[in-house]
Amino acid sequence: MTVANGLEQVIVAETEISFVDGERGRLVFRGRWAKDLSDTHRFEEVAHLLWYGSLPSGEEKADIAAKWASEREISAGVKAVIDAIPREVGMMSVLRTAVSALETEGFGYPPTLEQAASITMKLPTIVAYCYRRLKGLAPVEPRTDLRHTANYLYMLKGEEASPVHVQALEAYLNLMMEHGMNSSTFAARVIASTRSDLISAVVGAIGALKGPLHGGAPSLVMNMLRDIGSKDRAEAWIRSKLENDGRIMGFGHRVYKTKDPRAEALRLIASRLSDSDPCLELAVHVEETAIRLLEEYKPGKKLYTNVEFYAAAVMNAIDFEEELFTPTFVVTRSVGWCAHILEAAAGRLIYPDSAYVGQLPSE
């Protein structure tokens, strides 16, 4: 047997959901380029593609939006569970526990597309309820007349967000919905393969995403952008870092050996919206300056912008605090998890081997 630490380069399943091509910098959702879906479709439409295998027709769009919006409310029981948790407990831990409480609302085996839509629609409500409780603010109930992303921002802020902020966040959510056999998705598939319920698989995925090696927030990029502060400071700040062996955050990626297609898509959107938002304008300028100076100081290294850079730019623009970074990742990645859970639930039990390297008893 060959030991593959970390399971790198080991294929554990066949899937029709997505394709991550790290060598060529490509990301495909159900036969479509993810970058082309980022700002041309609503969150609900991309979720429909990942779950059903096709984009909704013109007639279906309104029906799906209305039907899924009706699933946003959470019960008094779930709110009571959240309220019982001490406020010093981290957001991700509270979120994990709150999602467990959804089992009282009929999420039994086998997992279904209706269950997937229900939990995905409830997650923003749970996150917003947890966040406003943490800040000592009254909860804001979901609205059915707003689309998914606009409603999420409304519940967090207590007022409707600007169209620019909705568009920027929706592009981020659409791009981050799914990304192959990552750690949290694999955890969800393992649980689903045991014929457990969808809630258990999503809770397991949340536990995996909570780890800083997987769902770590782009806080270091945020700190960098805030420290730079304005376009006129960018070049001097970056030069100082590079001349003192400092690291410019938001460049390089473990999977992508070339440009991260998600970062490329978010960059185009940020560039288009930058005239309407100074935070996005600063991010575009910092990236352009950093790439030019990295090539000057580290020629041939080809350090490309990763998605964390523009995730931080979007979070900075919409004034998200660090507590919301990873929970917002959950809000969107739940779509991919549910697609994989449904696929794995119909497959073979995942039961890998291990190589024993300890002592044996004497004969």
Cis previous bond, 139, omega within 30? no
Please give the domain boundaries of the chain with CATH numbers for all domains: 31-211+323-345 (1.10.580.10), 219-317 (1.10.230.10)
Judge whether 308 counts as a catalytic residue: yes
The sheet with strand 32-33 has its strands ordered as 18-21, 26-29, 32-33
pLDDT band at 353 (very low <50, low <70, confident <90, very high): confident
> Which residue of the set 253, 281, 287, 340 is catalytic?
253
pLDDT for 158-183, tens place per residue? 999 999 999 999 999 999 999 999 99
For residue 246, list its beta bridge partners: none
Q: How far is CA 240 from CA 245, 249, 302, 306, in A?
A: 9, 14, 20, 22
> Which residue of the set 44, 170, 287, 308 is catalytic?
308
Q: Of 335, 311, 307, whose CA–CA distance to 25 is shortest?
A: 307
Q: Of 281, 269, 226, whose CA–CA distance to 249 is shortest?
A: 226
pLDDT band at 36 (very low <50, low <70, confident <90, very high): very high
The answer to whether 78 touches 161, Cβ cutoff 8 Å, is no
**pLDDT score at 147:** 96
The pLDDT > 90 percentage for the chain reads 65
Q: For residues 82 and 213, what is the distance between their CA atoms, to the nearest angstrom?
A: 26
Instruction: State yes or no: pLDDT of 216 exceeds 70.
Output: no
Please give the average per-residue pLDDT across 57-73, as a whole number. Answer: 93
The conformational region for residue 123 under phi > 0 = left, psi -120 to 50 = alpha, else beta, is alpha
pLDDT for 74-121, tens place per residue? 999 999 999 999 999 999 999 999 999 997 667 888 999 999 999 999
Please give the average per-residue pLDDT across 189-208, as a whole number. Answer: 96
Judge whether 253 counts as a catalytic residue: yes
pLDDT band at 304 (very low <50, low <70, confident <90, very high): confident
